[in-house]
Amino acid sequence: MWNRGISVLYSAKEIEDRIREMAAEINAMYAGKPLVLLCVLKGAFMFFSDLAKRITVHPEIDFVRLSSYGNCDNSSGVISFTKDIEITIINKHVLVVEDIVDTGATMDFLCRQLKARGVASLRIAALMDKKERRAFPVKVDFVGFKVPCGFVVGYGLDYAEKYRELPELCLMNVRD
């Protein structure tokens, strides 16, 4: 336990094992195809790094940054595109790598933007899929873990820009 109100949901070992399994699935799906791995910053950076090291199909790599949370535990409802991709994705297979898909608002926004650019295919790999609050019809194609209600921090995910450094995925009581 890191402090009062935070408890481990998935250990570093469980995360590592699941990422290896996901990478094998991704490698099988994209064998022989022009793949672009697209990291959604900031939350997915640790997951993305560990996943990318295990992708053997020689993908191109790029980053995008979207914002919908600010300094609180609830989405503001306004999505801002603060860093766009820099490479061409026309006729390429794009795999968006995200930390957590919750309401689906951010992924719905991003997927609509990417599809309009003429991708060959578009899929999502998320470390966590949290369907209980899903408000948009977003399908996560490669799921690390299904998570229960609650606020998750660690392994790149934050609460008010804190706790990203934790090596585990942890549930946080944001009311403490």
Write out the catalytic residue numbers.
102
Please name every residue paired with 146 in a beta bridge, in sequence order, or none if there are none.
Answer: 129
SS3 label, residue 158: coil
Beta strands across the sheet bearing 151-153 = 6-10, 169-172, 151-153
Q: What angle do CA 54, 60, 66 make, to 5 degrees?
A: 95
Counting beta carbons within 10 angstroms of the beta carbon of residue 113, is it exposed (0 to 12), middle (13 to 18) or buried (19 or more)? middle
Contact between 95 and 36 (Cβ < 8 Å): yes
